[in-house]
Every structure is written in structure tokens, then in C-alpha cells.
Structure 1
Amino acid sequence: MKALSVRVRFYRRRAAVGAAALWTAGAAALLAGGAAHAQLDAAKSTIVAISRQMNVPVQGSFTKFGAQIDFDPAKPAAGSARITVDTTSYDLGDATYNDSVRGPEWFDAKAFPQAAFASTSIVPTAPNQYRVNGNLTIKGHTESVAVPVVLTQQGATQTFDGTLPIHRLVFNIGTGEWKDTSIVADEVLIKFHIVVAHK
């Protein structure tokens, strides 16, 4: 039973890795809304990925990401965003598991050190709510995604919140035994809280 318990805990950690991988690119990407010539407030911004390992939620966070954002709520169609995420920065709270995330089964960080999102259009869907369409690239694979974003404006500061479901296997995240979705679910939720400020 002890050996099984250790293996389950290990699976959960590795599951989070996959989640993050997607989430990473996804989340950051999703946020694709920003502020006109705005600067990312990294200290207040977060991107997390939530996966399910043997039906148990596993969460990890990305600690390094950048953003080039240009967004005016009065002219959403003219907005644009490019988000990049350091795939080696996913944090599961354990150095050993963090190292495993960089391996070829997951991020393959040596070959693909960054995940990226580039917006193609921003469409209003409700007051202070938008759909950010764009291309998400993870581990060398690009897919079109539509990210739901909620905007909160406080003076010169804009905050973008949202959750984007992503399928890890589409991006080849979790290969070999990790392709088994009975162990690690295919769907990963990317939750983001991005804060930017006008210069």
C-alpha cells in the first residue's frame, strides 16, 4: 500500500505538469487583452493550470511569463496581445517534480523553452467581457483557441481574468504512459489573473 501511495502522489505531480504545460501557454495567452501600451505587473499576475490525476485536482503555477499588450476598451477590434511563457517555470512545490516537467514527456523545455499565444482578433461578448481569438503554440504545435476574458478597469490599471479549457494531448503533452487519460485527464483548465498598467 505504501508503494501504491507513493506512485499515486507521483502521478498527481506529473499530472499537474501536463496541466501546466497547457495552462501555461493557454492562460497567458488567454489574457490576451491588455492595456494600450500597458506594462505587465508580474507581482500581481498569476497563471495556474489545473488538471485531474486519478480524478483528484492537481494545481501548479507558472512563475515566469511576459506580455506585449495593446488594448483600448473603446476600440476592442484594434487590440492585440502576445504572451510568452517560460516552460521551465512551472512550479509544483517540489524541485524533483519541477525538474521532471522539463523532460521530453512533458514540456521538453530544452527543445521548446517557451510557449506562446498571439491574438488574431478581440470580440466583445457582453459589458466588460470579450472573446480573444488567437493561436496558441506549445511544444512546437499550434492550435486556434478562443479565450473568454473579463476586464476590470480601475484608473490606469486593467485586470483580465478567465479560464480556458485545453486538451493536453493535442499538444503532445504527456507522452508514453502519460497518454492514459484514466491516469491523467486530457482536459486541463488554465486560470489566469493578469494585471497591466498604462504608462
Structure 2
Amino acid sequence: MSRSSKTWVLSLVIGVMCCVAGRVASAADVYDYDAVHSSITFKARHLDISWIHGRFNEATGKFSLDREHPAKSTFELSINVDSVDTANKARDEHLRQPDYFDVKQFPTIEFKSTHTKVIEGGYEVTGDFTMHGTTKPVTLVLMGGQEHDFKDVKRVAFSTELSVKRS
């Protein structure tokens, strides 16, 4: 994975963002990111001939889902970049260095929503995506959002994908 590559693309997949609800005195349900039932995975081109697959093992987040007034819904996610895991310790350590993620200076990847609207099968969420000290507006299509009660705990799950050009 050459640092000079201007076409390095990181695809983050927030697969099964299961979240646990906590009731609050409002029309919205508030959920916390459930790390046990969630995954944040990525793939990146390697030498333009293959893909490297990996994951981030640590993240936190919460969202407030207002089904009656979706525009009032909010989504936040913070990924601990130091938790990068490609199943290769030497590569993971290299990814933590200044020529890639620079985890000492930029320890997290962040998303904070600014607007939410309902679409068929889920939600379209626009927000600020911050990676490596740069914040850009992005729009995520969150598929899912159906609630499920399991052992008296309300859960909801979403999946989305985002491609990021690292250059």
C-alpha cells in the first residue's frame, strides 16, 4: 500500500449497527452503539491488484430516532482508529503511522449528522465526516431501521457504505 497512491479508497461498512434503546422524555428513541452486535469493516486496494480487508474493533456512538419527525433525528459515530485490524500485526502498525492514519495526531474518525430524511427502506442522513483532520459533508443511505424487542431491550439495526478517497 504505497503512500504515494492517490487512488487509495477506503470503504467503511457499518454493518448491523445494532443499538440499544434507552427511553427519554421525548418523541424520539435514543440508542447507543452496540459494539457486540455491530461491525465497521473496510477494504482498500493494494498495488492495484488485490484488496486488503480489515475492521475497526472499537467505536462508540448514539442516535436519536424520531419516527414522527425524522428531520429531528440525529446520528453520531466515533471510530477509534488505533483499533484497526487487518489480521496482520505489522501492517496494522504501519497503518497507525503518520504516513497513513497517524493515530497519535488523529485518533478518531467521526460522523455527526446535520439532516435526516426518510427514504424507502431506511433513512438518508447528511452530516459531517471527519478523518485525518479533514471534515467533509457526506450523505449516508442507512438501510434498515426496523425495531426489534429482545429480552425487553429495544434494538434497531442499520447498514451503510461510504467510499473515501484518502488522497
TM bin, normalised by shorter chain, reads: 0.7 to 0.9
How much identity, in percent, do the aligned residues show?
23
Shift of 1:38: 1.3
Partner of residue 125, structure 1: 119
Note if 1:108 corresponds to 2:102.
yes
Q: Residue deviations 1:100-149, cap 9 Å, x none?
A: 111111111111111111100111121x3211100000111010000011
Q: Distance in 1 between matches of 2:59 and 2:139?
A: 20
Structure 1 runs of 4+ aligned residues shifted over 4 Å read: none
- The unaligned stretches of length 5 or more in structure 1 are 1-10, 170-199
Greater RCO, 1 or 2 (C-alpha within 8 Å, sep 6+) = 1
Could you say if the C-alpha distance between residues 148 and 55 of structure 1 is closer, same or farther in structure 2, counting changes exceeding 3 Å?
farther
Q: Counterpart of 1:99 in structure 2: which amino acid?
A: E
- What CA RMSD, in Å, does the superposition of the two structures yield over aligned residues? 2.4
Partner of residue 163, structure 2: 165
- The unaligned stretches of length 5 or more in structure 2 are 22-28
More strand by share: 2
TM-score in terms of structure 1 length: 0.66
Partner of residue 144, structure 1: 137
- Classify the secondary structure of the residue corresponding to 1:107: coil
- Classify the secondary structure of the residue corresponding to 1:37: strand
More helix by share: 1
How many residues get paired?
147
